[in-house]
Homo-oligomer: A and B are copies of this chain.
Amino acid sequence: MALDTVSTNKCFGGVQGVYRHASAETGTDMVFSVYVPPHAEGVKLPVVWYLSGLTCTHANVTEKGEYRRACAELGLIFVAPDTSPRGDDVADDEAYDFGKGAGFYVDATEAPWSKHFRMESYITRELSELIAEHFPADMERQAITGHSMGGHGALTLALKTPDRFKSVSAFAPIVAPARVPWGEKALTGYIGADRAAWRRYDATALIEDGARVPELLVDQGMADNFLAEQLRPELLADACEKAGIPLTLRMQEGYDHSYYFIATFMEDHLRWHAERLGS
């Protein structure tokens, strides 16, 4: 699969790149960023996927995530996809929490969204193959994390494909989209009115239905405006306790929903993943 380089910049001894390709899954051009740390020629490196939140593109975490220093030290490739298909032909909604910038990491089944909004297949199949083909990536050693909507994406993708990801963590994730306004709106729109069909896009429902991961790390700011209504980490804690999944849930006093919160705890997450990836 062909890949165009939008930009590359040397940073912390490695290369921060931004790339564009024509996606067969979404039927659009897609842009993503990859940081490759300094490494010896011929070595294959473990991969951390970072899924972004509502309104974001690859650029938010690339500019503000402060992950490169730790990735350089730990020898981790860091992949940041976009959050939805883009372009004039792509259906959209005026709200910030649905349509472009709000793909919710699902394969939409409802018109008009089903034509382009195939972010689950895009990330787990097409982009994954592209990363394996074009970067020095050891696809046997993958981890996944994300923020807010992207935390939902990380948790659900890991729960659905436990063999693919050796570890999973999240920053302020939407843990139960079927039970909060952001998720109810998005899943109704993308997947339809049948709530049974939503369960595979809801981390707590997946755990209730038997999906498992070895353990979870979640950081949540206690000054996060979305905590009580949209994020509800207690629902994940309940589901993990019943299922016997070890959850490290860290409630961080004074931190909000911004990249200032993410950047503060990014290194902790990367070290946690590196240990589990053997990096």
Contacts and interface: CB of A to CB of B under 8 A. Distances in A.
A30 B239 CA distance: 50
A66 B63 contact: no
A273 to B, nearest CB: 18
A263 B64 contact: no
Interface size classification for chain A: 20 to 34
Interface in A226-279: 254-256, 258-261, 263-264, 267
A223 interface: yes
Nearest to A12: B264
A204 interface: no
A185 interface: no
A9 B260 contact: yes
Contacts of A63: 63-64, 259
B223 A264 contact: no
**Copies of the polypeptide in the assembly:** 2
Contacts of A260: 9-11, 16, 68
Nearest to A221: B10
Contacts of A69: 66, 69, 263, 267
A11 B223 contact: no
Contact of A9 (B13, B66, B256, B267): B256
Contacts of A10: 221, 223, 254-256, 260-261, 264
Nearest to A252: B10
B68 A11 contact: no
